[in-house]
Structure 1
Amino acid sequence: MQHNKINKCALAVKLGLLVGSAVLAMPAFAANETEKAEQVEVIEIRGIRASQEANLNAKRFSNSIVDVVTAEDIGKFPDKNVAESLSRITGVGVSREFGEGEKITVRGASSSTNRTLLNGQTVATADWFILDNPGRSFNYTMLPSSLVSDLEVYKSPQASIDEGSIGGTVILRTRKPLAMEANSINLSLEGQYSDSSEKWDPQVSGMYSWKNEAESFGVLVSAIKQDRKVVRQGFEVLGWPTNADLDAKVPSHIGVPRFEQDRERETLFLSLQSRPNDQLDMVLNVLDSKVDANNHNQNWLIFVNNNAGSLSNTVVENGSIVAGEVASGGTAAYNFINRVSSTETRAIDFDLTYSGETYDLHTQVGHTEAKGGTYRETSWEYGPAGGTGYNFDLRGGTPTANTDVDAADPTQFRPGWIWGGEKPTTDEETYAQFDLTIPVQKGAFTAINTGAKYRMAERTQDRVAYSWHGPQTMVGNEGVAGDYLSHIFATCYDWAQCGLFNGTVNIDAVVNGNMTQQMAHNRAAMEEIAFVGLNGVPADFAKSKNLAEIWAVEEDILALYVQGDFEGEGFRGNIGVRYVDTQQTSGGYEFSGDSWGLWTIDREWLTPEVLEWVETDNDYSEVLPSLNIAFDLSDEQILRFGAARVMARQDWNNISSSITYGSLNVAQPTGSASNPHLMPQIADQFDLSWEWYFDASALFAVTYFHKDVKSYRSFSTFVDQRYWEEGDEWVDVTFTRPENGPGGTTDGFEVSYQQAFGDFGASANYTYTNAERDEARDLTKPGSGLVEGTSRHMMNASVYYENDSVSARLMYNYRTEWYKGLHFNGDELWNDSYGQLDASFGYNLTDNITLSLEAVNLTDEKVVEYNTDAARLFSIYQNGRRFVAGVRMNF
């Protein structure tokens, strides 16, 4: 599909092209951009101030609106991955659901509509968390910041840079051996303490770089190992359905969860570089990064909407029941969930640059792949015999929840159900590109750049359900009747049996009431019973493919571009156009409903009468013009203008052929469906920036940005039935499906300042973003009229002190509330305002050895989520403070 509608912004881009044509007639002023880069002052990166000068130097001489962070600056942040470093940049927001930066937003564009490139290329990524759906956003937990030499955030696009971003494109660059001293050694030994886990975790990284005396060949090896005990305690409401009988929104479940994870990250990086002569440069990079992310979660839940008819003493705010009680017999249950999870990314990239007498040729080919997800899940439910009375109150900032039953007494809980399964995902891309640069002296044009790129990508998701109640699970066990699930429950008739009870735990950080006083489960005992055996009876369970959640999406992309670089007296820039053709094929199972959507693969049980793999094609092409021009108003002041058409493809999960749903043992169950016919998000954008470099390490800048978005993702709903195994009945499920909806506009401004005062320095930036959709706000239609990822106000502030021996920095990062999209239950999900204070301190013991102390989230800020109205609380999560002490050695 071709988008040919001409609007004001597109017209402005065309006018920009005409301006470029006029520039051809102007006299040439200087050498081409490559020659100019060679004239830029080379700064030795040592210390905070020097690194900031290098950042400003790169930003100042760029032709586009770009923010830059160098390796030294990353090293001075208390950041263990690149997302945290990016959070210091103007207009960039970061999500921290588990206390560590994972995904970014740029200028109000959601994480899925921004691209991250490693050395200019895609890095495959697969999430470990079972509730995450495969998207376009990059998971930065895979990439430690020590691996990166510098990063650039392009906010105004160029034709020569990959498409795919509405907000901005992040380009991460790794170190090269020929750019370092021979036999360079960098070592870092650190210990990290988290006050939520009360554990010290080791973190070790090392890098060695060698090159020969002729500096024609070099090798760089980097290895990083970072362990972290993650403990997240909190409070959750798992949905806000409208109860017709009460004519109000009612909490679906209210729970007090505790999440624990042993996270182990290992990263290996190898770079080989050969420069046999001045014309040829070849680099081979190999990356292997793995995160073992086994986790378990317990949640003590009351099922409020199930007991809506028994509620009394209710308090209603804005049409929502925010307080109430059930006198007796209320539904409640423990969910104990164990997951074996991991994610691994691999990439191999070959980069060749050849400089001829009349041209420069660049070629890059490579392959990246990732696998991850939950490879085994076991979920057990035990509830109080006869139910329980309970009360709750969500008001006042700290919610309160109490039950009559003693949740720390294991003898009070009887078995309900066991379920589990697998949800592995894969991501893969093979790419090849070439770029040709021809220096010219045609008017003001100094170079013509052209090239092509071809990408073949595939994203998949599998889903397998385990059924311990399946047939044949007790075959061969004489004297034992029934299925294995019945055997478990007959033997482990309360939670005090079978070694399942593992003491008590108190979750009192974010909620009041006795629901915080819980029993802890024995993960090892659960795993033993579920997967090994119990009382001499071998464990057995049926494995069935959950057909509606299995999908594969293939994507072939061809991109062609031409770009002209120009420069004249007092101005410089580039103008170009990028043509992109995308061919998508989405595959999934089409099946009859006679087997409840399951296909048993390890025994004779469930096989649908109709079962066929069906593929849907979706093809489209886009023409993306761009213009960047910088006017040197004086030696210190630059005025920049940029105009472009940009695009972002829809999330993999949204264009798949999947249908998922949540718990069926609740009133009004919900689910999500995908749409393989979704078209990309298109926007026309303007950027206008004024920059004043009033000292070598000083800047004051103001930027205005405007985006005319053609189509946002909207949602529609439909009702379909699903079979509830535990209740042996079909129930109605309300599904939410994405679709292409009306567009809208996003505009705002950025203000940034930084300056050094002797040994002291300060920097601050502020971003205002106003995002509006043309779609009318309809409270009965989830997501209508809302823009994902947009905080109206974001700011960063930093002060530092540094001399030859000591460096210290204090940093604060803040953003106001933002819409995060639809929760897995179909409700609108918002994140409340969040501010985080971090600090770092370093002492140079010698020229080569530095002692460091870092603190993350000093004020112990909590992640708070709600359902559109702040009174409808969704969750409060406490990730706690983290402290890192270590030593860094450079030789």
Structure 2
Amino acid sequence: MRRILFLSIALALQAATTTATAQEAGVATEAIASQPLDRALNALSRQTGLQFVYGAQAAGNPETRAIPAGLPPEEGLKRLLAGTGLRHRYLNATTVTIEAAGAMDAPAPAPAVPGAAPGAAAVPQALSPVQELESVQVVGSYSRSLEQAVDIKRSNIGFSDSIVATDVADFPEQNLSEALQRMPGVTIERNKGLGTRVNVRGLPSEFTHVSINNLATASGSGGRDVEFDIFASEIIQQVTVQKSPTAADEEGGIAGSVLISTARPFDYDGRKLVASAEGAYNSISEQTDPRLSFLASDTRGDWGALVSFSKAERTNRTDSTSGINFRPMFRFLEASDPRGSQAAEVLERDAGIVVRDRTDRDETGRIIFQDKVGDRVYLNDQDKWGATASVQYRPSNRFSLTFDAMIGGYDTTEDEYDAAAYSASSRSTLETIHEYDATTLSEHGMVVLRDVSYTATQHEFLSKERINRTDYSQYSVAMDWKGDSWGIDAMLGYSGAEKTLDYANLKHVAYAPSRTRWTGNSGETVPSDNPGTIDMYDAPQAYLFEAYETTLEQVTDDKYAAQLDFSKALDLAFLPALRTVQFGARYTDKSKERQYGELKITGPAAGDTSWVDTRTLADSPLQWVSDIVPGGAYGVKDLDWRQVSNEYARGAFRYPGFATPFDEGQYYRVDEEVTSLYAMADFAFDLGSVPLSVNAGARYSDTAVLSFGYHPVQNADGTTGYTDSPVSRTGGYDDILPSLNMTAELSDGLLLRAAASETLIRPQLTDIAYKRTASWNSFRFTDGNPDLLPTTARQWEIGLEKYLENGGLLAASYFRKKIEGVVVNSLTGVVEDVAVYNANGTLNGRYDFDVYQPVNADGSYEVDGVELIAQLPLAMLHGALEGFGVNANYTRLDSSLAGESDLGIGTPMPGLAENTFNVTLYYDNDRFDARLSYNHKDEYVESIGYNMYPIWRDAYGQLDMSIGYRLTDSIKLTLKGINMTDEETGGYTMDPSFPTMYERSGRRISLGIRADF
């Protein structure tokens, strides 16, 4: 049988590259190096949108010459085929045959692809751009998705990494965040077994810019970071993490940019129908959760339409001990006597510690006791859905008009049942020190009290309920229009999210002597020798009702954008190296509004306090915690206790007509308008025998901020009020952001890549918000700061990439970032002679109030690192390994920033893990595929407790697996597993012998079926 090769560019590939606008405009954006014909045509197909057909036996696969970037398709083809004995011929506007120069001039029909609609793209999106026609499958394999990701990486002028539809959908991820963790330099933040936010190259999540279909994404968070757990991975077509920006990019992000694309109808070969169903079982909750998704797409002539939908439920239980942080001894020593003096006496009597000055925090902050111990059971119920729609008008490869829509909802209810002992209660002090440690942290002059009896521990039973509802939507219209040497791209879009957070906490408290100590991986509270002690887990009559606390928060997040780009291919005799120029403009209008309020219920009616200190825990119906939540016994300790269920509490304690009122002092709104202009150029030339491609440009961005918020005032009667209307402030700044990206083909398949740029990330909107909150007891005002400037970074990177046969890749790069203008809280002023009133309205006195604001810190810090990538189909080593492969990456980071510690304790940058790596071993053939994936993140500083003590999160590694078997060409059965080794999450303060938390979220096993037609 004659072997036919068919090459096509998928629009999904174009959307993921940083030069997508130029590619879709038909303008080549980088030189095509000398290489075999099939690879050269593959590259040209990506740049022009053309399809190429030829008979391999007749034409062969000769080595082609290098051609410069920016040539029109006709000229590029002529130069590419010069000297090969081949010629090209157009069959229609989008299909070109490659044939021997002596072939007959009569046009031959293009070979038909089974199931292809007339004029449709010839290769399904999930396939590599080059495939044998006879072996084209309806559903792409994992190895092919890796090849496609390598194609994207190679064609990008800058540093980037990608995953495409098969990779996103076929791993056992619970959301998009977990799908991204397998990419080089990407780690995720986990919360109770679920991936939430994304960190790129170890930097905080708010340093990453996120867009969907070229539109900055709203998720309703209080900052710039995107909450990835709200997005289902099934509705995402591909994701590129771009680490070196061009001038055409909206901002670039200090850590990087996450570019997300949803599917479009012309990504597929005519009609496409995909449906999948899955059931997932959690080993702790012992619940099975459904997950459904489908996609339908069709093209008819010039028109195409696509819809997709995904819905998933998730019930996950986490058993945890936490809250076991360091507490400085000045908590007791600064208390009035006799509490303060008794603490000093016990320290001297039992530990030989003589406190010289009870008010010197440099001294008393180095004497540590345990803050609290909490035994907690979390039950997290999620209901998530997402849908996309796309309508395309594409009369030719020169023009397309596309409408994209994405809507969805994320509802979660988290129940927390907490039995806690608060050692540092306001009524308590030291009674007996049973064990202390003066050696572990002696280099910092610190003594840790490991085992202590206290006079009046605050024991608590807390039934907490968190209800989070997020609705998001995004709509955009994109136009791509190209001529022989020019292209115009335009986009109009809207992204919005509305979030409501409803929180409740039923709190019962018992004060009694008890004993608290560290144990192997957490802590515990047991009865002390004091006659008044209690068994905190079995004394319901001792617990008095304190309050049923409620809070309500609503956030509205809206973003509008408009963009216009123009590109032009050039062929200048006086400057032949200049291939294309591109310039454009973008306008964005962002608005975020937040309402917040809280109210405590203390009786059966508004204003009633009759339940306080009279109603006990025993007066409510109690259930064993192992019965309230599914899954049985508490998995961290041999414990069980009785509490009030949240279902009962919501019905019993919220009296008729109850509503949580919003607090004017917590309101803010921030409006931000950004106008940007950019210009860039592509150059291609030879340096000796080495072809180089260079992209250089600059982006000018002008930002205007208008912020609103109420400010506190003291009324004449002594009550606290707020200004009658919001107080507004304006702010603004402008920036010029240069960028330079370069690639050099040192030899066949060996690419040297380099990049340098200046990037920024804008301050969080909560910090910009011009509102003032007052702490009357602390004599402090806290203000927002509309004058905040963005945090900026100057960065550069250099790397080598070796592209191997069959999609293999070996790559190494070194990067360095110098970051300036980090936002910190600082004392910025004093308001003198502020009247402070007592609760009864009498004047307490007049005081000077300190004013704290977020400001841009002076100085800078540096982050540098190394990334290594190995993607190897093992058949290149031996034919017996056909189908086997490995996909691995490793990132090592270092930072000059020391965490801020009032005690001078040096810490690395919070959130930065020095070492991360991911390894996936896979096998696939036409019927069967299997994958084992292990990802690891080193320990890192999570926060700095009391601005003194670094709190570490333990290193964490997780093994996931996926097995698939194709029952028919269209139906596939899958078995997936998350956290197969049942890893626990832990943390500690300064040394592992002082654990702060220990939690188990269990394994998750799913069985699914997928039909693809």
1:346 alignment partner in structure 2:
473
1:710 alignment partner in structure 2:
820
Looking at structure 2, the residues matched to 843 and 233 of structure 1 have their Cα atoms a distance apart, in angstroms, of 35
Deviation at 1:161, TM superposition (A): 1.1
The answer to whether residue 909 in structure 2 is matched with residue 787 in structure 1 is yes
Q: Normalising by the residue count of structure 1, what TM-score does the alignment of the two structures yield?
A: 0.85
Q: Match for 1:885: what amino acid?
A: L
- Cα contact 2:899–2:909 (8 A) shared by 1: no
- Cα contact 2:324–2:523 (8 A) shared by 1: no
Give deviations 1:448-483, integer Å, cap 9, x for gaps: 11111011101222111224359xx858xxxxxxx4
Deviation at 1:560, TM superposition (A): 0.8
1:449 alignment partner in structure 2:
582
Choose 357-366 or 700-709, whichever is displaced more: 357-366
The counterpart of 1:433, out of the listed 559, 563, 573, is: 563
Aligned pairs (5 A) from 1:626-775: 626-657=739-770, 674-716=784-826, 738-741=854-857, 742-757=859-874, 758-773=882-897
- Cα contact 1:293–1:340 (8 A) shared by 2: yes
Choose 343-352 or 872-881, whichever is displaced more: 872-881
Long gaps (5+) in structure 2: 1-30, 32-64, 78-93, 97-127, 334-343, 345-363, 528-533, 875-881
Structural RMSD (CA)? 3.6
Q: Match for 1:705: what amino acid?
A: F
Looking at structure 2, the residues matched to 805 and 278 of structure 1 have their Cα atoms a distance apart, in angstroms, of 35
The counterpart of 1:288, out of the listed 397, 401, 407, is: 407
Change (3 A) 1:140 1:827: farther
Q: Match for 1:359: what amino acid?
A: W
Change (3 A) 1:805 1:417: same
Aligned pairs (5 A) from 1:310-389: 310=431, 312-316=433-437, 318=441, 319=446, 321=448, 323-326=450-453, 329-374=456-501, 376-384=502-510, 387-389=511-513
Change (3 A) 1:293 1:650: same
Looking at structure 2, the residues matched to 596 and 295 of structure 1 have their Cα atoms a distance apart, in angstroms, of 42
Deviation at 1:406, TM superposition (A): 4.4
The answer to whether residue 653 in structure 2 is matched with residue 530 in structure 1 is yes
Deviation at 1:430, TM superposition (A): 0.7
Q: Match for 1:862: what amino acid?
A: E
Aligned pairs (5 A) from 1:583-594: 583-593=704-714
Looking at structure 2, the residues matched to 586 and 108 of structure 1 have their Cα atoms a distance apart, in angstroms, of 31
What secondary structure sits across from 1:654 in the alignment?
helix
Looking at structure 2, the residues matched to 578 and 357 of structure 1 have their Cα atoms a distance apart, in angstroms, of 27
- Cα contact 1:111–1:789 (8 A) shared by 2: no
1:204 alignment partner in structure 2:
292
**Which structure has more RCO (C-alpha within 8 Å, separation ≥ 6)?**
1
Q: Match for 1:293: what amino acid?
A: T
2:319 alignment partner in structure 1:
233
Q: Normalising by the residue count of structure 2, what TM-score does the alignment of the two structures yield?
A: 0.75
1:486 alignment partner in structure 2:
610
- Cα contact 2:907–2:941 (8 A) shared by 1: no
1:478 alignment partner in structure 2:
none
2:10 alignment partner in structure 1:
none
The answer to whether residue 675 in structure 2 is matched with residue 558 in structure 1 is yes
Deviation at 1:362, TM superposition (A): 0.6
Change (3 A) 1:46 1:467: closer
Give deviations 1:869-890, integer Å, cap 9, x for gaps: 5555433232221111110110
1:831 alignment partner in structure 2:
953
Give deviations 1:384-443, integer Å, cap 9, x for gaps: 3xx233323335334333353242453442212222120121211011111111111232
The answer to whether residue 1005 in structure 2 is matched with residue 883 in structure 1 is yes
Choose 74-83 or 365-374, whichever is displaced more: 74-83
Looking at structure 2, the residues matched to 350 and 882 of structure 1 have their Cα atoms a distance apart, in angstroms, of 39
Aligned residues: 822
- Cα contact 1:670–1:826 (8 A) shared by 2: no
Q: Match for 1:484: what amino acid?
A: D
Deviation at 1:519, TM superposition (A): 1.4
Looking at structure 2, the residues matched to 867 and 579 of structure 1 have their Cα atoms a distance apart, in angstroms, of 45
Looking at structure 2, the residues matched to 251 and 67 of structure 1 have their Cα atoms a distance apart, in angstroms, of 45
Looking at structure 2, the residues matched to 737 and 66 of structure 1 have their Cα atoms a distance apart, in angstroms, of 37
Change (3 A) 1:496 1:378: same
Change (3 A) 1:580 1:836: same
Change (3 A) 1:636 1:327: closer
Deviation at 1:546, TM superposition (A): 3.1
The counterpart of 2:520, out of the listed 365, 390, 396, is: 396
- Cα contact 2:472–2:496 (8 A) shared by 1: yes
Deviation at 1:610, TM superposition (A): 4.7
Identity of aligned residues (%): 23
- Cα contact 2:284–2:317 (8 A) shared by 1: yes
Looking at structure 1, the residues matched to 967 and 774 of structure 2 have their Cα atoms a distance apart, in angstroms, of 57
The answer to whether residue 693 in structure 2 is matched with residue 572 in structure 1 is yes
The counterpart of 1:258, out of the listed 366, 377, 391, is: 377
Looking at structure 1, the residues matched to 278 and 144 of structure 2 have their Cα atoms a distance apart, in angstroms, of 25
- Cα contact 2:769–2:786 (8 A) shared by 1: yes
1:268 alignment partner in structure 2:
387
Give deviations 1:456-513, integer Å, cap 9, x for gaps: 101222111224359xx858xxxxxxx43425875xx222334354665699767547
The answer to whether residue 30 in structure 2 is matched with residue 30 in structure 1 is no
Deviation at 1:596, TM superposition (A): 12
2:594 alignment partner in structure 1:
461
What secondary structure sits across from 1:63 in the alignment?
coil
Change (3 A) 1:390 1:589: same
Q: Match for 1:114: what amino acid?
A: T
Looking at structure 2, the residues matched to 275 and 662 of structure 1 have their Cα atoms a distance apart, in angstroms, of 61
Looking at structure 1, the residues matched to 1010 and 171 of structure 2 have their Cα atoms a distance apart, in angstroms, of 14
The counterpart of 2:231, out of the listed 102, 125, 143, is: 143
Looking at structure 1, the residues matched to 776 and 908 of structure 2 have their Cα atoms a distance apart, in angstroms, of 27
Give deviations 1:162-205, integer Å, cap 9, x for gaps: 10501111111111112213331111100011112110011001
The counterpart of 1:218, out of the listed 304, 318, 321, is: 304
More strand by share: 1
The answer to whether residue 548 in structure 2 is matched with residue 424 in structure 1 is no
- Cα contact 1:164–1:649 (8 A) shared by 2: no
- Cα contact 2:376–2:418 (8 A) shared by 1: yes
Q: Match for 1:410: what amino acid?
A: P
1:853 alignment partner in structure 2:
975
Aligned pairs (5 A) from 1:6-25: none
Choose 193-202 or 403-412, whichever is displaced more: 403-412
Change (3 A) 1:641 1:724: farther
Change (3 A) 1:380 1:406: same
Change (3 A) 1:502 1:398: closer
- Cα contact 2:626–2:633 (8 A) shared by 1: no
Looking at structure 2, the residues matched to 877 and 120 of structure 1 have their Cα atoms a distance apart, in angstroms, of 38
The answer to whether residue 143 in structure 2 is matched with residue 49 in structure 1 is yes
Long gaps (5+) in structure 1: 1-22, 128-133, 476-482, 598-605
Give deviations 1:603-627, integer Å, cap 9, x for gaps: xxx7617554222322111111111
Give deviations 1:627-664, integer Å, cap 9, x for gaps: 11100011110001101111111222232346789999
Q: Which has the larger radius of gyration?
A: 2
2:164 alignment partner in structure 1:
70
What secondary structure sits across from 1:390 in the alignment?
strand
Change (3 A) 1:610 1:697: closer
- Cα contact 1:500–1:526 (8 A) shared by 2: no
Choose 673-682 or 179-188, whichever is displaced more: 673-682
